[in-house]
Structure 1
Amino acid sequence: MTTAKRTQRPTPPKAGTRPSVRVDDQLAADLAVVMRTGANLSDAVRQCVRLVADVYRTAWAEGVVPVGTAPVLLAYQLERDLAPAPPQPNPSDAMTSGYDVRRTPPAPTVGQPPAQVPGTRPSPRRPGPIAGLNVRQP
């Protein structure tokens, strides 16, 4: 295998060839992340190269940087997966400290009376100026 002189621009490999790349720890870790999606090594490399090439093509087409110059990626936008997410624990169910022995009752649904907190007594209520809305007596 011949090596290119430093003054020559590298040429891309021809279609159908099998380029070799030395895999260091960082490349191995990066490929492992991409392969967690179920992609094999070849597909992972293809996806990564295609992504970077699309960024370069867009930057050059939009005139962000001159053609042949590597752009700096400042931000990216992801599409949200619309698959149902696993249920998250309700923060009100968690104890707030080691001294908290009661769980906070869940918030009442609209049209339902509020839940009684254990260890408290209900406050007297009287009808308010709006029908169905009670006013707490002092």
Structure 2
Amino acid sequence: MANAHPNQTKKQGPPKAGERPSVRIDETLAADLAVLMSTGANFSDAVRQAVGHLADIYRVGWANGVCPEGTAPQVLAYQLHQQATPEPVTGGYDASDARPPHLARRRLAGPPPGAHLPTAYGETLLGRPTGPQRPDAQRPARA
């Protein structure tokens, strides 16, 4: 059957710089964007930051041999840095809307210290079933 829009062809591969790809926003994506944008980021910055973060995870996984290049690494854990609580704003002069500069050239993180183990589950390593380590580990995965 003929294409509904003969002038449009489905593109393969990532968009080129300067293009304006579109994405349908469903309820899950809208909720995720609301979380990212609650920090003061606009839509474009939130998407850039999220895609950049995920791409860095892929690059580090491939560079350190965690998974074959071209496959998605499995994230087993992440670590957050505790930020100091900022002083409350007392006036307009104390407020700052300066955003951190965009990092055009990112550096890959080095390999983790010690011997690298391939992805393995606790049951395999311990030889017995393991229960959830945290209360939120029992939450169902998002569909």
TM-score, length-scaled by structure 1? 0.55
Tell me how far 1:84 sits from its aligned partner.
Answer: 5.5
After the TM superposition, list the runs of 4 or more consecutive aligned residues in structure 1 that deviate by more than 2 angstroms. 83-86
> What are structure 2's unaligned runs of at least 5 residues?
1-7, 89-143
* Residue from 2, 24, 45 that aligns with 2:9: 2
Q: Which has the larger radius of gyration?
A: 1
Structure 1 residues 85 and 73, CA gap change in structure 2 (3 angstroms): farther
Q: Which of residues 55, 60, 63 in structure 2 aligns to 1:61?
A: 63
Aligned residue runs from structure 1 range 84-123, under 5 A = none
**Structure 1 match to 2:35:** 33
The structure with more strand, counted as a fraction of residues:
1
Q: Residue 49 of structure 2 corresponds to which residue in structure 1? A: 47
CA distance in 2, matches of 1:72, 1:52: 11
- The C-alpha deviation readout for 1:109-135, integer Å capped at 9, x for no partner, is xxxxxxxxxxxxxxxxxxxxxxxxxxx
Higher relative contact order (CA 8 A, sep 6+): 2
Match of 2:115 in 1: none
CA shift for structure 1 position 2: 1.1
The residue that corresponds to 1:75 in the other structure is: 77
C-alpha displacement of 1:3: 1.9
Where in structure 1 are there 5+ consecutive unaligned residues? Answer: 5-9, 87-138
The aligned residue for residue 19 of structure 2 is 17
Distance 1:30 1:68 in 2: 26
In structure 2, C-alpha distance between the alignment counterparts of 1:29 and 1:85, rounded to whole Å: 29
Q: What is the number of residues matched between the two proteins? A: 81
